[in-house]
Amino acid sequence: MKHKILLMAALAGVLATTTACDDDKFIAGNPQVDVVAQNADAFYGDSLPFTIKASDVEVPLSTLKAQLYYGEEKVSETVIRTKTSGADYTGKIYVPFLKGTPDGKATLKYVLQNTSLTITEKEQELTLARPDYQYLTLVTADGTLYRMERKARNEYAANAAFPAKVNAYIVAPKYGDNGNELTFGWDGSAVALGASQEIPFSSTTSGKYDISFSTFSFEASPFAHIYFCGKEMSTTATPDVYTVDLTLNNGDAITVEGIANIDEWWLDPAYLKRGDDGVVRFVPMSGRYRVTANGKLNYFVIEVLDNDGNLASLQADGSGALWVIGENVGKPSLGNAVGWTTENALCMAPIEKGVYSMILTAGRTVNAASINFKFFGQAKGWGDELTSAKLTTTSDIIFVGDGSNGRDNGNLGIVEGKQLEVGGVYQFIVDATGGMNSCVLHVEYLGTEELPSADVKINGVKLEQLDSDNYQGVLELKQGDLLSITGVNDILNYYIDPDYVEIGASGATFIPVDGSYRIKVNMGAKTVSFTRMNGTEEATLGSDGHGAIWLMGWGVGSPSQDAQFGWTPGAAYCMAEVAPKIYQFTGQAGPEHGSLTGQRFRTDYLSFKFFHQDGWGGELGGEQLTLIEGGDMIGGTGNFELVGGATLEEGATYRVTVDLTAGNDKGTIAFKKL
């Protein structure tokens, strides 16, 4: 009975409150907008300042909106919270710099709203014009600046001795009192304002020529037209990469037009073979193929198409296509290793129905000492794996993993005690004529080829050549040492791990604490990486908190998300001990696939952990590490992961720091946006 009385009393209170509200009189208010200061004229690209006196003597104000209209379309808006009636509110509204918009009139509308949702609007007419720049600046990938002179209204050009390919972006300076610096890049198919990729200018030859750009139409030139066997290739979303689908017949002579340095391109010997007469001919069986010209890596990717024009997959009878995914294999070199990213899968060349070929050179396109890749029937995806139940081998060098012999089921490995001959050329042939469930791998030795080499030195110490791309050496370094790398022509274009080296006016300065470090220069991927050493062995985390912390997991990778560390022992990342017992890992956030160099965190997914060694064993999880900063982004008691729907801002820089100064079991972790 007591509960019933309390409930009735509560209901009575609600009814009383409702009755009292019904007696209140609604007040609409009367917002007033007075323009104190604003220009009547502006340029496209301006941040136009304004000052508005906003008032309402009856009802509190809520918001002031400045809205810009090109005709009937709202193209820009600024919102300001208005707390005080009678006060002046100052802001800026951006005047968009759009392609193809001529000089003309625009409408600037001020919308003031109070808490009763009553609105007052005031409109002003603006006269807009396109900036008439005296010059623009062309900035190439190596940082060289070229002045693009004004040739006519909105038309600019730089004339210089350029190479055949120039990747660059264009900068327009601030114009007028309210202007902004504008940057033009490549959006995957055309020049666009604010696009982050460099514009892939290209000419049929190197030498003196114009690079031009229109600030009105956003049209730019030159862009070379590339023809493969007489058919024009199309641009792709990736700069300097072109593609075409066409029919190719066994023995066809291959012609290429529009690539100035074609003699420097690598030819995949399973697909393209240059004869004694100098003519390049098509090796595989006749059929439909997709050819992709990769101007960044200077080679042609050739893939099999099905009858519908899609990438082909392996069929039950063994026909179709066979794909390779995994570690320690890549084309045109190991600097472009496949890894376990399905989009990077290599398509084997069909030499007859149901028989597939891949030709690899040890030390160039395949690791001589260790391999770990497998065959897939699915085109650039998981599924239809050639496991040990479906694949046998006649080779005495290569074995097929069964899950208990040192390789996962279906993965290939090199027989213990053996290795491929460095420079040796090997043909991997998969015979699927017995059907996709009865495949046989043959490995044939075809001879040797000379690997390219360079005299790479760091601080005068010559590095050992591991393969055609990779050089490494172990150096004793002190914190603050300057690093001098010689023997690499374009070292300024390399990605040097920013947690180990700071590039400044004085040069490349070593960041971590004193110690022994293995330095690896990858001339294919254009990276310089570091590993803490303890004698001839990789360092591990000592009980005193010094040594090395190893990072594994998904959503973290280096030099980009296309090389995530995953949970593979031996692929972990050695974090830099930047101060005694303090370790860090820094990078920008980027997408899982197609990320840019330096984007070492994934925007939408993280799941990583810290280890005492490069592999399983001692761990630093939630029991040993207390999260002291970044709990709004990451969390976890074991693996550290994104929490609460959090995402990272693409292009922003983040850093994870592990501090063990209080002890290995009393460490802290911080994750923050820099």
What's the DSSP call for residue 9? H
Record the tokens describing residue 533, joined without a space: 């050493």
Instruction: Look at residue 11 in the predicted model and tell me its pLDDT.
Output: 35
- The whole-angstrom separation of Cα 448 and Cα 145 is 44
Pairing of strands 625-629, 619-620: unpaired
Which DSSP string do the residues of 399-413 spell out, in sequence order?
A: EE--SSSSS-TT-EE
Q: Are residues 290 and 237 in the same domain?
A: yes
Q: Are residues 308 and 426 in the same domain?
A: yes
Q: Are residues 51 and 101 in the same domain?
A: yes
Which of 404, 433, 448 is the endpoint of a domain?
A: 448
pLDDT above 60 for 16? no
Instruction: Look at residue 22 in the predicted model and tell me its pLDDT.
Output: 47
What's the DSSP call for residue 453? -
Name residues whose C-beta falls within 8 Å of residue 528's C-beta, 6 or more positions apart in sequence. Answer: 485, 494, 495, 496, 497, 501, 519, 520, 521, 522
CATH of the domain at 513: 2.60.40
Classify 68 as helix, strand or coil.
Answer: strand
Q: Are residues 393 and 264 in the same domain?
A: yes
pLDDT above 70 for 603? yes
- Name the pLDDT band for 9 (thresholds 50, 70, 90): very low
Record the tokens describing residue 14, joined without a space: 């609600």
Instruction: Look at residue 547 in the predicted model and tell me its pLDDT.
Output: 95
Which position has the higher pLDDT, 636 or 145? Answer: 145
pLDDT above 80 for 239? no
Question: Could you tell me if 333 and 468 are in contact, meaning their C-beta atoms sit under 8 angstroms apart?
Answer: yes
What's the mean per-residue pLDDT of the chain?
Answer: 91
Residue 568 lies in a domain: yes
Record the tokens describing residue 358, joined without a space: 């891949």
Listed range (163-167, 393-397, 456-460, 654-658) with the worst mean pLDDT: 163-167
In one-letter notation, the amino acid at residue 624 is Q
Q: Which of 151, 149, 188, 195 lies closest to 169 in space, CA to CA? A: 195
pLDDT > 90 in the chain, percent: 75
Which position has the higher pLDDT, 115 or 157? Answer: 157
Instruction: Look at residue 126 in the predicted model and tell me its pLDDT.
Output: 92
Instruction: Look at residue 4 in the predicted model and tell me its pLDDT.
Output: 30
Classify 364 as helix, strand or coil.
Answer: coil
| Average pLDDT rounded to a whole number, residues 628-648 | 91
Intra-chain end-to-end CA distance of the chain, in Å: 62
Residue 440 lies in a domain: yes
Helix (H) or strand (E) holding 601: strand 599-602
Q: Are residues 462 and 332 in the same domain?
A: no
Residue 9 lies in a domain: no
Sheet holding 227-228, edge to edge: 231-232, 227-228, 256-257
Pairing of strands 119-129, 41-43: parallel
| Average pLDDT rounded to a whole number, residues 184-199 | 88
Which of 77, 98, 129 is the endpoint of a domain?
A: 129
Burial 287-319 (b: 16+ CB within 10 A, else e): bebbbbbbbebbbbbbbbbeeeeebbbbbeebb
Question: Could you tell me if 226 and 232 are in contact, meaning their C-beta atoms sit under 8 angstroms apart?
Answer: yes
| Average pLDDT rounded to a whole number, residues 89-115 | 94
- Put simply, whether the predicted model's pTM sits higher than 0.75 gets the answer no
pLDDT digits (tens, 9 = 90+) for 141-170: 888 999 999 999 999 999 999 988 898 999
Residue 25 lies in a domain: no
- The whole-angstrom separation of Cα 568 and Cα 411 is 14
pLDDT above 70 for 456? yes
Q: Are residues 636 and 488 in the same domain?
A: no
Torsion of CA 95, 98, 102, 107, to 10 degrees: -30
| Average pLDDT rounded to a whole number, residues 625-650 | 92
| Average pLDDT rounded to a whole number, residues 191-220 | 90
Q: Which of 385, 328, 387 lies closest to 360 in space, CA to CA? A: 328
The domain containing residue 474 runs over which residues?
Answer: 452-539
Instruction: Look at residue 593 in the predicted model and tell me its pLDDT.
Output: 76
What's the DSSP call for residue 322? -
Q: Are residues 419 and 456 in the same domain?
A: no
Question: Could you tell me if 586 and 654 are in contact, meaning their C-beta atoms sit under 8 angstroms apart?
Answer: yes
Q: Which of 508, 504, 556, 506 lies closest to 528 in space, CA to CA? A: 508
pLDDT digits (tens, 9 = 90+) for 486-498: 999 888 889 999 9
pLDDT above 50 for 193? yes
Instruction: Look at residue 164 in the predicted model and tell me its pLDDT.
Output: 82
Q: Which of 257, 371, 377, 238 lies closest to 306 in space, CA to CA? A: 377
Q: Are residues 285 and 428 in the same domain?
A: yes
Residue 655 lies in a domain: yes
List the Cα angle 89/92/96 in 5-degree steps.
150
Record the tokens describing residue 253, joined without a space: 């002579």
Record the tokens describing residue 432, joined without a space: 């699927």
Classify 1 as helix, strand or coil.
Answer: coil
Q: Are residues 421 and 512 in the same domain?
A: no
CATH of the domain at 74: 2.60.40.10
Record the tokens describing residue 376, joined without a space: 């897939």
CATH of the domain at 200: 2.60.40.3620
Which of 129, 150, 181 is the endpoint of a domain?
A: 129
List the Cα angle 634/639/641 in 5-degree steps.
30
Q: Are residues 374 and 520 in the same domain?
A: no
Instruction: Look at residue 392 in the predicted model and tell me its pLDDT.
Output: 97
| Average pLDDT rounded to a whole number, residues 547-570 | 92
Residue 18 lies in a domain: no
Question: Could you tell me if 169 and 199 are in contact, meaning their C-beta atoms sit under 8 angstroms apart?
Answer: yes
Listed range (302-306, 558-562, 667-671) with the worst mean pLDDT: 558-562
- Name the pLDDT band for 562 (thresholds 50, 70, 90): confident
- Name the pLDDT band for 24 (thresholds 50, 70, 90): low
Q: Which of 366, 352, 345, 387 lies closest to 446 in space, CA to CA? A: 366
Q: Are residues 467 and 435 in the same domain?
A: no
Question: Alpha carbon 61 to chain centroid distance?
Answer: 45
- The whole-angstrom separation of Cα 23 and Cα 18 is 9
Residue 338 lies in a domain: yes
Phi, psi of 393 (to 5 degrees): -140, 150
pLDDT above 90 for 404? yes
pLDDT > 70 in the chain, percent: 96
Residue 12 lies in a domain: no
Which position has the higher pLDDT, 594 or 363? Answer: 363
Q: Are residues 423 and 478 in the same domain?
A: no
Instruction: Look at residue 10 in the predicted model and tell me its pLDDT.
Output: 36
**Please, which contacts does 149-157 make with residues 24 or more away whose CB atoms are closer than 8 Å?**
151/212, 153/216, 154/130, 154/214, 154/215, 154/216, 154/217, 155/212, 155/214, 155/215, 156/212, 156/213, 156/214, 156/215, 157/210, 157/211, 157/212, 157/213
- The whole-angstrom separation of Cα 603 and Cα 209 is 41
Q: Which of 239, 242, 269 lies closest to 256 in space, CA to CA? A: 242
Instruction: Look at residue 205 in the predicted model and tell me its pLDDT.
Output: 77
> What is the number of structural domains in the chain?
5
- Name the pLDDT band for 14 (thresholds 50, 70, 90): very low
Report the 3 state secondary structure along 15-67.
HHHHHHHHHCCCCCCCCEEEEEEECCEEECCCEEEEEEEEECCCCCEEEEEEE
The reply to whether omega before 332 is within 30° of 0 (cis) is yes
| Average pLDDT rounded to a whole number, residues 567-571 | 85
- The whole-angstrom separation of Cα 508 and Cα 488 is 15
Phi, psi of 334 (to 5 degrees): -70, -15
In one-letter notation, the amino acid at residue 599 is Q
Q: Which of 85, 17, 13 lies closest to 56 in space, CA to CA? A: 85
Question: Could you tell me if 377 and 323 are in contact, meaning their C-beta atoms sit under 8 angstroms apart?
Answer: yes
pLDDT digits (tens, 9 = 90+) for 498-511: 999 999 888 899 99
